[in-house]
Structure 1
Amino acid sequence: MHGKTVLITGGTAGLGQATAIALARQGASVVITARDEARGRAAVEAINQRANAAPVRLILLDLASFASVRGAAERFLSEHPRLDVLINNAGVFAARLEQTREGFELQFGVNHLGPFLLSHLLLPALEAAPAPRLVNVASRAHYAGRIDFDDLRGEKHPYRGWRAYARSKLANVLFTREWNRRFPGIPANCLHPGTLRTTIGNKHSPWYVSLTWSLVKPFLTSPERGAATVVYLASSSMVAGIGGRYFDPWQRERRPSPLALDDDLARRLWEVSERLMTEGGLMR
């Protein structure tokens, strides 16, 4: 990974930070994103100390705001002529209905629409790299996902946090496959990293959900172990030129859900997402 530039969304803790450390140790020039500058700078310092490699850099990014996504992309493009690997790692789980700045259901917005927009805006930097890769952190939760195009704001039906999370993760797999079809020169793959020992279940959750998550968290997979497949897809020669696949925590290719393999659904999700971005003046 020497000489390669990697952008990882959500690097302040958990899977993102573990991935940043691993890739920095391999010699990559790593850029992480964070919503909060103080937390981001603390994370950069921690990563630099543990990686003992080229300094990791920080860009502020809030995937719940399209304006923030555009600002982050513009800053990256102004500082880096190319992007060898984009890792869409940052995500959210919300037990209650919350919405993004633009009014979309939070999990669909942060886990799908934000990465969709960011990936498109960074396309010039990806195209400038000799062998670019796109890696999307999905989840086995996608097997339970369904896409309701009439309720992208989450207001038409009683809200179920897990159902919305599964939908967003199905969107990750569909996005990966459709990206790979449209941009075969930038292979995209996605993965389930395992059920990790992170704080995802403690945020945006009522006290009883947070408490339950805290009780089971010690028995879950470490972020370092979960990062193995992310690092594999970002760096291994074994997957060079391979795209449109879904991998498990042991770097094995797995068959995703039947809906995730629906080409018409993937195309429709792409077109709907693209229209939302275009109508907002965010994609040209």
Structure 2
Amino acid sequence: MEEMICLVTGAESGLGYAAARGLAREGATVVMVCDHQKRARKARVKLIGESQNPNIDLIIVDWFSQEDIKAKANEILHQYHAIHVLLNLAEAYFPIRKLTGSGKERNFAYNVLAPYLFTNELSSLLMAADGARVLNLTYESHRLGAINFSDPGLKYNFSIRDAQRQVALARLSWAYELNRRLAGTGVDVHAFSTGARHPATIKQVPSFLYWTVKLATRFWERTSEESINTLLRLALSDDYERLSGKYLFRGQIIKSSPITYNQEFNQQLWETCAAHTESSIVAYQEIQAMLLS
């Protein structure tokens, strides 16, 4: 574990912080990738104290800015020789539809495009680890989700419930496609759910509850001992070694929604993300075929 480098997004609070603490206690170098500078700095100091591990680094990134995501990924590329574990845990949901500075709907930009782009930009370090694991947080609500490829920003039919369901489906779908593209590289990719229900899946949120829901979505994450132990087992245990492209619910492999096994659907989502980020990964097997031809 002392030679492992683990990146945890959303590590300043909730499940992200708990996961970072667990990895740090195992002796790994933990890179906290956070978007709230003040909160993240306090969390880093607390994490070092609780884990007695000084090898805790901090990267501050603006998940709404693709330029900043690429810049911070480039810093990581120059600072580390490999990434052994990447936990995509950062998430935030916004009940009112607004666009980012680059014209992307905030829920889709923060929860789908940002981790997609960040993971793509770091793919070379994942492959360099010879046995890396990527885990995408998602939810059972993906089964009720749909993706409007012509309007992923839900311009004409927005609700926080539908936005969250779309995110859950998209994070699972691109995890499967990432797994396909990295097949043969030694990188294992999974989507996982702790079993918790996201507040946005319960009902449409009235505008007068905006700040209540915004606060709740920051602190509602699953921090039970069971959830944390399950996540750490997925990230570190030999039980999941060389097992890739799975959906894990509370640590158990189960079938995800049938649409997620449709390769054309997954590729279409990937291409949609690629078009919105100008970033992609050519399938490793396709590269091998080109070299042999």
TM interval, shorter chain, is: 0.7 to 0.9
Matches within 5 A, 1:227-266: 227-249=228-250, 251-266=251-266
Consecutive unaligned residues in structure 1, runs of 5 or more: none
Q: Are 1:117 and 1:277, in contact at CA under 8 Å, matched by a contact in 2?
A: yes
Q: Which amino acid aligns with 2:179?
A: N
Cα deviation for residue 98 of structure 1 reads: 2.3
Matches of residues 7-22 of structure 1 in structure 2 within 5 Å? Answer: 7-22=7-22
For 1:138 and 1:26, the matched residues in 2 are separated by: 25
Q: What is the identity, as a one-letter code, of the residue corresponding to 1:231?
A: L
Aligned to 2:286: none
The residue correspondences of 1:160-171 to structure 2 (distance < 5 A) are 160-171=159-170
Equivalent in the alignment of 1:52: 52
Over 3 Å counting, the alpha-carbon distance change for 1:216 and 1:103 in structure 2 is: closer
Q: CA deviation at 1:124?
A: 1.4
- TM-score by structure 2 length? 0.85
Change (3 A) 1:76 1:182: same
Quote the Cα distance in structure 1 between the aligned partners of 2:236 and 2:50: 20
Deviation at 1:222, TM superposition (A): 2.9
Structural mapping, 1:24-39, within 5 Å: 24-39=24-39
**Given that residues 94 and 107 in structure 1 are in contact (C-alpha distance below 8 angstroms), is that contact kept between their aligned partners in structure 2?**
yes
Structure 2's unaligned 5+ residue stretches are 282-293
Q: C-alpha offsets along residues 128-178 of structure 1, whole Å, 9 cap, x if unaligned?
A: 112111111111121111010111232122x11010111011011101111
SS of equivalent residue, structure 2 residue 167: helix
Q: How much has 1:212 moved relative to structure 2?
A: 7.1
Distance 1:83 1:178 in 2: 20
Alignment partners' CA distance in 2, 1:139 and 1:86: 18
- Seen in structure 2, the aligned counterparts of structure 1 residues 12 and 149 have a Cα distance that, compared at 3 Å, is same
Q: Which amino acid aligns with 2:156?
A: K
Q: How many residues align?
A: 275
1:153 aligns with 2:153: yes
Distance in 2 (CA, whole Å) between partners of 1:82 and 1:222 is 28
Whether the 8 Å contact between 1:19 and 1:224 is mirrored in structure 2 is no
* 2:111 equivalent to 1:111: yes
Please name the residue that 2:290 is paired with: none
Of stretches 204-213 and 110-119 in structure 1, the one that deviates more from structure 2 is 204-213
SS of 1:264's partner is helix
Percent sequence identity is 25
How far off its partner does 1:56 sit?
Answer: 1.1
Given that 2:137 and 2:193 are in contact with CA atoms closer than 8 Å, whether structure 1 keeps it comes out as yes
Query: What letter corresponds to residue 170 of structure 2 in structure 1?
Result: A
Listed one character per residue, the Cα deviations across residues 84-127 of structure 1 (whole Å, up to 9, x for unaligned) are 11111101122111223322221111111111111110011111
Q: Is contact 1:197-1:223 (8 Å) kept? A: no
Alpha-carbon distance in 2 for matches of 1:277, 1:221: 30
TM-score (norm 1): 0.88
Output the CA distance in 2 between the equivalents of 1:265 and 1:33. 30
Match of 1:183 in 2: 182
Cα distance between partner residues in 2 of 1:94 and 1:244? 29
Residues 122, 149 of structure 1: alpha-carbon distance in 2 compared, 3 angstrom cutoff: same
Secondary structure at the residue paired with 2:168? helix
Name the Cα RMSD after superposition.
2.8
Q: List aligned pairs for 1:178-217, cutoff 5 A.
A: 178-184=177-183, 185=185, 186-195=187-196, 206-208=207-209, 211=212
Partner of 1:189, secondary structure, is strand
Query: Aligned AA for 2:162?
Result: R
| 1:2 Cα deviation from its structure 2 partner | 2.5
Distance change >3 Å, CA 106–CA 220, structure 1 → 2: closer
For the Cα contact (< 8 Å) 2:136–2:192, is it kept in 1? yes
Classify the secondary structure of the residue corresponding to 1:165.
helix
